[in-house]
Amino acid sequence: MSTETIEQQLAEEFKQSSRQRQCPSSLDHRIAAEYRQSMMARRREQRLKTLWRMPKVALISAIVAASICGFAYAGNKLLFKDEEGMITLNVQSSDLLELGKRDLESVRASLSDVQSKLDPGETAVVYAPEFDVKGGWLGAYQPIPFTDIVQWKRLLKKHNIKEPLPEAIGGTFKFVEGMEGNPFSVALSPDAEQAWNEMRTQSKQDGSKMLWRKIHPSHDQPTAAYSSVYQNSNQDNVYLTWEIVNSPSLYFNLITPSSTSYEEIDMNGQKVHYTKDEQSLYGESSVHQEVMWTRDEGGQPIIYRVGSDSASLAKEQLIEAARSLLAT
């Protein structure tokens, strides 16, 4: 299918969805992923509830969810499309996601401040006026850390994760801690939208600069993420995230700032996608690099992410870390 055909198809899907609800028109692609997951969970319940009586292997109806409604197509660029089994990912870049330096720093500071006030395991939806122009709601999450690798492996086994957990990757990065979820995205529950709208109204009325509210974590997701953090002697971070796909068929539509750089790499015979986003809202710095690929391991689709929020980490170091995982 040509890029033009893909974009025309996506345009029609987003157009239909935007008639029904007002949704974020531009978000950091990791935030968009979480919003997309929340939407998919609700659609799955509504559209496939009669099909769950059948074995999962027999479910061939694709789950198509718009991660961003009211999508603006002028200036958008398709970075890549990836298909693995029943998993399809479309990643696009958009000028609409570009924040000025001051706004980017302000939003990052707000999210970091909220996270510091949460207890482990708590989630909050955040309203930041600087991001209101972008039309999206944000989230903050304080993960429960597992610094003992034995305990972390035990929890992974409890969740039927069969992937072997390395104690070190890339030769120099050693295990530091594990956590449920993805540190660069926040799984927001369906009640996040109402809370965000209420905070937005309050901010317009009293001039509040930043508001946040605790919400229940979202458990009904089509993917479950598990992240392991590794560090080298320079305190550079590398995050290994496994997104376990729990749905029979998923169609991801993700969006990222137009300044994001992209490269497709052949790594030990596996096609992987490298991206570098210098407008990241999460992490130790606004620079987020990631190597991503998908695999179907014995009928269990998995999205692999090897990322870093360390601004000083070279691209080659991250790629070598990912390569070491594919070599095992």
CA torsion angle 44 47 50 54 (round to 10): -50
Q: What is the pLDDT of residues 37-83, one digit of tens each?
A: 444 444 443 333 322 222 222 222 222 222 332 333 446 788 999 88
Of the listed ranges 52-56, 138-142, 297-301, the one predicted with least confidence:
52-56
The total number of residues written for the chain in this structure: 328
> pTM, whole model, 2 decimals?
0.77
Please report, rounded to a whole number, the percentage of residues in the chain having pLDDT higher than 90: 48
**Nearest alpha carbon to residue 6 among 89, 67, 75, 65:** 89
Is 300 in contact with 162 (CB distance < 8 Å)? yes
Q: What is the pLDDT of residues 239-258, one digit of tens each?
A: 999 999 887 777 777 888 88
Can you tell me which residue has the tokens 């605790």? 214
Strand 261-267 with 270-277, pairing: antiparallel
Give the tokens for residue 149. Answer: 């690798």
